[in-house]
Amino acid sequence: MLDNKNKKTQILIIDLGSQYTQIIRRSLRYLSFHSTILSPQKSLEWIKKNKPKGVILSGGSASVYNRNAPEIPKEILDLNIPILGICYGMQWLAYINDKNSVHKAKEGKSYGPVKITLEKSKLFEKLPKKINAWSSHGDSVRRASAGFRVIATSRNGQVIEAMEAIYRRLYTVQFHPEVEQTEDENIILNNFAVKICNCKQDYFKKDVIAEIQNKTRELLGNGVAIIGVSGGVDSTTLATILAPVLGKQLKAFLIDTGGMRKDEIEKVKEIAQKAKINLKIITEYKHKFVKKISMTIDAEEKRMFFREIYGEVFREVAKSYNATHMIQGTLATDLIESGSGGESMLIKTHHNVNLNLDLKEIMPLSDFFKFEVREMARLFGLDELLINRQPFPGPGLFLRVVGVPVTSELLEIVREADDEVKKILEKHKIYDKISQTIVALLGVNTVGVKGDGRVYGYSLVVRTVETVDFMTIKGFYLQKEVCEEITSTLVKHPKIVRVFFDWTSKPPATTEFE
């Protein structure tokens, strides 16, 4: 939401459909550089008017051979501005110079880590000869066109991973330097900004909270805003930041959906009291949530049903307060996965994105990621009880009953299991090291033996992951004795027969099962 209208953007990011586009911007913020994201259609006019010091072409899911593949205005190449093409951005730069230089993938895509050998280049200064990087592409560049020099390869020199055309100020990488799995500590993006574009640091964390407060107050004017608070980091931090400047114009409430964690309502009340948020608790809709969502086992339909009732509650609350605006704690990650983040494709529906209520929406956190909101919480002095809470999806435990219709009984099984796993992880002093813990019930009944009798029961799966921004994740592997303790504890429930553990990375797996 922050438009930084008084700041001169130094780097323009042209969004070509990558799920990682916002991560490029986040990485530049981390390096203290302002940037702006625009579609290809809006980029040329903006560049001529604002004269940025550099342009980054994002990756994307399309092939340069697709009929409707994203096209960057070719006039940009004649403006003598340094350009860094990432993934699809590299393929496009290669393709417009030599249409036979890009190899079209016939089947599958390349996802995962790749060992890359680097040659001497300003782009790679201060990096070792070899680095581990993250690959996520279909097409690939098979030869350097005229004027380009290969500066990085993989697979013993067989695959081109980066090129440069210094005199044209063009630089390209096939991998993703913006994601945390690329082990370069943001050096590549910093080299592009500083050594190639001559950017100066102009973004400072201490200014962010004041910018959020001032911009939100400006957008709200004399109106009244409602904000749904879940007790999680995002909505609670946002409500705490805004309460001092909005006062009675801000109406905060919590919806008890029936899919909350154990003792969640009391914990949220405690957090709200400490954060000095005047919070209203709404409980009369939880049976409606359970009844409606039990009608399907399809993950996307469950999210849509949840969103439907969630929106209904918002309308009632807005009416009761004569609200004019709705403030959301929506993050960049939510918008990207909902297909609302620029040109990126839909991954899953988020309950609080594009609700289409008769209210003006304000999303002060829509440029930011989870770890950045945690930093805001620290800067604002929120206590560790809030900052170290693990994320929890808006639809809650409804997304953790997988493959069978949701019932109050199954929700209670998952609720208790989630609490037991949390206690065990805390006892072993590893809970705070895990970015997110997911305990889900799988609708796959299997045979087991309890006592002297045959039983036929449910399975639980425990998923522990670590990440910085939740755009990419890797498994957080638990020690054998911890897995054994979790298993022996969970199978004590008479209806649980098996316990599985899942440490699949993202991609291909999303954080939650649904």
**Binding residue numbers for ATP:** 230-236
Residue 220: closest CA among 197, 189, 198, 246: 246
Neighbours of 261 (CB within 10 A): 19
Of 87, 164, 351, 361, which one is the catalytic site residue?
Answer: 87
Instruction: Reply yes or no on whether 178 is catalytic.
Output: yes
Q: Of these residues, 164, 178, 264, 514, which one is catalytic?
A: 178
Rounded-to-integer distance, Cα 57 and Cα 77, Å: 12
Burial of 73 (0-12, 13-18, 19+ CB in 10 A): middle
Question: 42: helix, coil or strand?
Answer: helix
Q: Which residues are annotated as a binding site?
A: 230-236
87 carries an active-site annotation = yes
For tokens 């190639």, the residue is: 196
- Sorted by sequence, the CB contacts under 8 Å of residue 242 that are 6+ apart come out as 212, 213, 216, 227, 250, 327, 364
Residue 227 one-letter amino acid: I
Q: How far apart are the first and last CA of the chain?
A: 28
34, 137, 176, 351: which one is catalytic?
A: 176
Cis amide leading into 508 (omega within 30) = yes
Give the residue among 67, 65, 53, 69 at the shortest CA–CA distance from 13.
53
The DSSP bridge partners found for residue 35 are 11
As given in the structure block, the two tokens for residue 1 are 């939401």
CA torsion sign for 442, 443, 447, 448 is: positive
The one-character DSSP state at 506 is B
Q: Are 247 and 277 in contact (CB under 8 A)?
A: no
CA atoms within 13 A on the CB side of 476: 19
The H helix count followed by the E strand count for the chain is 14, 21
Q: Could you tell me which residues are beta bridge partners of residue 132?
A: 115
Q: Which residue's structure tokens are 């990375």?
A: 505
On whether the CB atoms of residues 394 and 329 are closer than 8 A, the answer is no
- Active site annotation includes 199: no
Torsion angle in degrees (nearest 10) through CA of 228, 257, 414, 396 = -30
Active site residues: 87, 176, 178
